[in-house]
Amino acid sequence: MSISADQKNALNRQAVENFQEYLRIPSVHPNINYDDCVSFLQRQAKGLGLPLQVYSVETNRPIVIITWVGTEPSIPSIMLNSHMDVVPVFEDSWTHKPFAAEIDEKGNIYARGAQDMKCVGIQYLEAIRRMIKSGIRLRRTLHVTFVPEEELGGVQGMKEYVHTTHFKNLNVGFALDEGMANESEEFILFYGERFIWHMHFHCPGQPGHGSLLFDNTPGEKARIIIDRVMDFRAQEKKKLADNPELAIGDVTTLNITQLKGGVQTNVIPEEFIVSVDCRLPITVDEHEWQQTVDGWCKEAGSDVWIQYEQKQPKVPVTKLDNTNPYWIAFKEAMDGLDLKIKKGVNPGETDITYLRNIGIPALGFSPIHHTDVKLHDHDEYLSTDVFLQGIDIYIKILQSIGNLKRHLNGYISQQPVVKLVEE
């Protein structure tokens, strides 16, 4: 069965309208009520004729799963993940209302979540809609998951969900999750993520009157910590500037994000706290890094210590070679569309890390190119053309990875892909 040009135009209009409706739901931190997101997704599932489940690992933190069952449902399934939550906005700095999903004269849709990452969730569903309408069936079951709290580290969402029986029953063999926009022609593909250490350096010392020169004050110790952090930061900036082959995900980033302490100007406090956001590339040995930061503390003072708000272990990357047939299928789809891929390590963190940590191969990919990177920024936007192109890209990718067939010897080979024909 083929889709006519008129049908394609109608599907495009429907896709954009669904995207706008989803963007208009202000699922913004803090204290999100996800009820409207769930209701919206229930209507989408009903329109697709697909079953929907809602599962929660924490109260009021729903995980929505829309499932398209494959012709061979016993073989490992594909998870297509996105998150429903978005970060806060500074509305006065936006030229469009951040939850109005207005389209300007250039065809750009402005809204929080346009890039990060409500677009991807809708693109999954619209790709499935077109395949169903074309009479296409895939071997593998697709689970389209919409999770909460990703922007807060997934602690009340994916982090715990992957350890539940409910997740295990999905039989996930491979997953796709978010990537990032790119200004050039290439599409960014993440095969790994840096690991995060959020550190609070506690610098206690001698308190007293601000007019005196005591030894062992908190300020002296905090100064050493700040100097070491900023010196290392400058070293990594230089490394990045000197080597055009490196991307931000290939170096360690250190940023002082908070300075706490003190009660008033003429009182030396009993402690200063220096808070640091640290993100480590996969090339860093975590034990050696531990020795480095412990050495900074020792240099600053024997009583200086680190409180870890977050201290992630290094998570294995997803292999991009012939040992990973899902990657081969993904690449074949992109090559078939003559689209260029820029491979790299995600400089931030997404829910995909929890999947990789339990051994599931996963790729971070958002089909967004020729677009300014605006995630978490003012005036976040996505053009309708890029959004609609992304649906066509997913159709090709999902057919390719969804039609991998497992043989008795355990090897997975790709079978011919059915083309979506436009008359």
Please report the pLDDT score of residue 406 as a whole number. Answer: 62
- Band (11; pLDDT cuts 50, 70, 90): very high
Angular region, 422: left φ>0, alpha ψ -120 to 50, beta rest: beta
Last residue of a domain, one of 311, 331, 360: 311
Do residues 82 and 47 both lie within one domain?
Answer: yes
Assess whether 392 and 404 both reside in one domain. yes
Indicate whether 153 and 248 sit together in one domain: no
In this structure, are 326 and 397 located in the same domain?
yes
Between 235 and 417, the higher pLDDT residue: 235
Mean pLDDT within 364-377: 97
Q: Are residues 160 and 67 in the same domain?
A: yes
Enclosing domain of residue 124? 5-193+317-414
pLDDT at 329: 97
- The answer to whether 121 and 148 have CB atoms below 8 angstroms apart is no
Q: Is the pLDDT of residue 410 over 70?
A: no
Q: Which of 163, 118, 90 is nearest to 18 (CA)?
A: 118
Q: Indicate the average pLDDT of the chain.
A: 94
pLDDT of 421 above 80: no
Least confident of 169-178, 291-300, 344-353, 361-370: 344-353
**Is residue 164 domain-resident?**
yes
Residues 187 and 212 in one domain: no
Q: Is residue 188 part of a domain?
A: yes
Residue 75 belongs to domain with CATH number: 3.40.630.10
Pairing relationship of beta strands 253-260 and 404-406 according to DSSP bridges: unpaired
Tokens standing for 107?
A: 């065809």
Q: What is the pLDDT of residues 43-83, one digit of tens each?
A: 999 999 999 999 999 999 999 999 999 999 999 999 999 99
Number of C-alpha atoms within 13 angstroms, CB side, residue 276? 26
Look at residue 411 and tell me whether its pLDDT is greater than 90. no
150 catalytic per annotation: yes
Per-residue pLDDT, averaged over 313-326, amounts to 95
**Annotated catalytic, 6?**
no
Residue 203, pLDDT > 90, answer yes
Of the candidates 209, 231, 220, which has an alpha carbon nearest to the alpha carbon of residue 304? 220
Whole-number pLDDT of residue 419: 39
Q: Which of 116, 149, 150, 250 is catalytic?
A: 150
Cis amide prior to 30 (ω within 30 degrees) = yes
Residue at 420 is within a domain: no
Residue 409 has pLDDT above 70, yes or no: no
Count the Cβ atoms, other than its own, within 10 Å of residue 15: 22
CA 45, 50, 56: angle at the middle one, nearest 5?
Answer: 65
CA 108, CA 383: separation in Å to the nearest integer? 4
Measured between its terminal Cα atoms, the distance across the chain in Å is: 11
Contact at 8 Å (CB) between 115 and 382?
Answer: yes
Q: What is the DSSP annotation of 355-388?
A: HHHTT--EEEE----SS---TTSTT-EEEHHHHH
- Which stretch of 198-202, 339-343, 382-386, 417-421 has the lowest confidence by average pLDDT? 417-421
Q: Let me know whether 243 and 321 are in one domain.
A: no
Where does the pLDDT of residue 2 fall: very low under 50, low under 70, confident under 90, or very high at 90 and above?
A: confident
Give a yes or no: residue 423 inside a domain. no
Looking at per-residue confidence, does 309 or 414 come out higher? 309
pLDDT at residue 191 is higher than 50: yes
Look at residue 420 and tell me whether its pLDDT is greater than 90: no
Residues 175 and 221 in one domain: no
User: Which token pair is 409?
Assistant: 């010897």
Give the number of domains in the chain: 2
Q: How confident is the model at residue 405 (pLDDT cuts 50, 70, 90)?
A: confident
Cβ-in-10-Å burial (0-12, 13-18, 19+) of 121 comes to: buried
Looking at the predicted structure, is the pLDDT value of residue 415 above 50? no
- How much of the chain is helix, strand and coil, in % rounded to 5? 35, 25, 40
- Angle made by CA atoms 13, 15, 19, in degrees to the nearest 5: 115
pLDDT category of residue 422 using cuts at 50, 70 and 90: very low
Which of 291, 311, 331 is the last residue before a domain boundary?
A: 311
The answer to the question of residue 419 being in a domain is no
pLDDT given for residue 77 in this prediction: 98
CA distance linking residue 324 with residue 371, whole number of Å: 30
Same domain, 115 and 202: no
Q: What's the CATH number where 251 sits?
A: 3.30.70.360
* Structural domain includes residue 421: no
Check whether residue 90 and residue 113 sit in a common domain.
yes
Residue 116 and residue 171 share a domain: yes
Same domain, 124 and 201: no
